[in-house]
């Protein structure tokens, strides 16, 4: 049996550019503060002041994190009067964030996988 036959996965090997972009995305999410911001924004658009208060960061620090996420193309901002509202733009990254918190229990351990039906007869 070849390696391809024994390990199911994508049909094509990822390119160097794909690997670099994926590593950059994971690096962007490696910050607990940015991950918390992403989690909070997963419910919909949020004012920067509300984000800062919810995550427990100063407004300037929150703005710096949001700026990095915007430059990475993960979130977008929209000004309405004196307020800036942020939204997650990338549904794939949003899915990653949602999945990681399904995978990790509140105590920081790995959450057990949901039970699967045993179809063996």
Beta-sheet strands, E only, within the chain: 46-47, 75-80, 83-88
Residues 5-16: tens digit of each pLDDT:
555 566 799 999
Q: Rounded to two decimals, what is the model's pTM?
A: 0.78
d(CA 65, CA 47): 14
Residue at 112 is within a domain: no
Residue at 109 is within a domain: no
Residue at 4 is within a domain: no
In this model, does residue 94 exceed pLDDT 60?
Answer: yes
Residue at 7 is within a domain: no
Which domain CATH number covers 93? 1.10.10.10
**Considering its fold, how many domains does the chain have in total?**
1
Residue at 115 is within a domain: no
Q: Would you state the pLDDT for residue 111?
A: 83
Domain enclosing residue 98, as ranges: 18-103
Q: Would you state the pLDDT for residue 114?
A: 72
Residue at 76 is within a domain: yes
Residue at 1 is within a domain: no
């Amino acid at each position: 049996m070849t390696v391809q036959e024994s390990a199911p996965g994508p049909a094509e090997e990822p390119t160097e550019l794909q690997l670099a972009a994926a590593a950059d995305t994971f690096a962007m999410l490696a910050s607990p503060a940015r991950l918390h911001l992403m989690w909070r924004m997963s419910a919909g658009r949020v004012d920067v002041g509300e984000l800062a208060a919810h995550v427990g960061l100063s407004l300037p620090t929150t703005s710096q994190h949001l700026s990095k996420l915007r430059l990475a193309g993960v979130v977008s901002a929209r000004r309405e009067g004196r307020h800036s509202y942020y939204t997650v733009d990338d549904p794939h990254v949003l899915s990653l964030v949602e999945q990681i918190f399904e995978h990790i229990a509140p105590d920081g351990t790995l959450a057990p996988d949901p039970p699967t039906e045993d179809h063996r007869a």
